[in-house]
């Protein structure tokens, strides 16, 4: 499928230039059904979109954690489900969004996820296998 950028003049509405684009950039499907796919090329706009998207996901997860902890329903089954959701968000962040976010933003989101994980464990932080894998990956890259 070819993608094009169409530039028009503002006064006469004539097509001035048609540029064929490569399909590189952040791609998502909007809720609006008239548009099937949007590809964003601007790095600053991509960062803003991902920060909003990830903050919404963390806020929803923190509300669920707060409700479970405040109701006293913090049993092993709900803890495992919430920890799996945190690991899912972490893997999305590291695998899908890493190339679009700055290292500072990535570290900030990882710290937020680690804090949520700490809250679920009730202050008794268990050694996470995912942290070991992340450290090994950093060592392999030489960072």
The tens place of each residue's pLDDT in the chain, 143 residues long, gives 455 555 566 666 665 555 566 667 888 888 877 778 787 888 888 899 999 999 999 999 988 888 887 787 767 788 888 889 999 999 999 998 888 899 999 999 999 999 888 888 774 444 454 554 555 566 666 55
Domain count for the chain, please give it: 2
- Note the Cα 130 to chain centre separation in Å: 17
Which two structure tokens, joined as six digits, stand for 123?
A: 């202050």
Question: Do residues 17 and 75 share a domain?
Answer: no
The domain in which residue 99 lies consists of: 42-141
DSSP string of 56-108? HHHHHHHHHHHHHHHTT---HHHHHHHHHHHHHHHHHIIIIITTTS-HHHHHH
Question: Do residues 26 and 56 share a domain?
Answer: no
Phi, psi (deg, nearest 5) at residue 97: -100, -10
CA 89/CA 120 separation, integer angstroms: 15
Question: Do residues 111 and 96 share a domain?
Answer: yes
Question: Do residues 68 and 22 share a domain?
Answer: no
Question: Do residues 35 and 76 share a domain?
Answer: no
Question: Do residues 79 and 135 share a domain?
Answer: yes
Token pair 């290292």: residue = 103
Question: Do residues 116 and 127 share a domain?
Answer: yes
Question: Do residues 58 and 91 share a domain?
Answer: yes
CA 139/CA 117 separation, integer angstroms: 24
Question: Do residues 83 and 124 share a domain?
Answer: yes
């Amino acid at each position: 499928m070819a993608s094009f950028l169409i530039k028009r003049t503002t006064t006469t509405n004539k097509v001035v230039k048609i540029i064929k684009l490569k399909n590189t950039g952040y791609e998502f499907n909007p809720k609006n059904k008239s548009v099937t796919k949007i590809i964003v090329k601007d790095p600053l706009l991509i960062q803003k979109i991902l920060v909003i998207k990830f903050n919404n996901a963390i806020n929803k997860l923190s509300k669920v954690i707060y409700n479970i902890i405040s109701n006293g329903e913090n049993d092993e089954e709900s803890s495992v489900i919430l920890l799996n959701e945190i690991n899912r968000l972490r893997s999305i962040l590291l695998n899908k969004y890493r190339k679009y976010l700055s290292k500072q933003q990535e570290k900030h989101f990882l710290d937020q996820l680690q804090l949520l994980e700490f809250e679920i464990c009730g202050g008794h932080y268990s050694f996470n296998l995912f942290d070991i894998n992340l450290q090994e990956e950093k060592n392999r890259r030489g960072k």
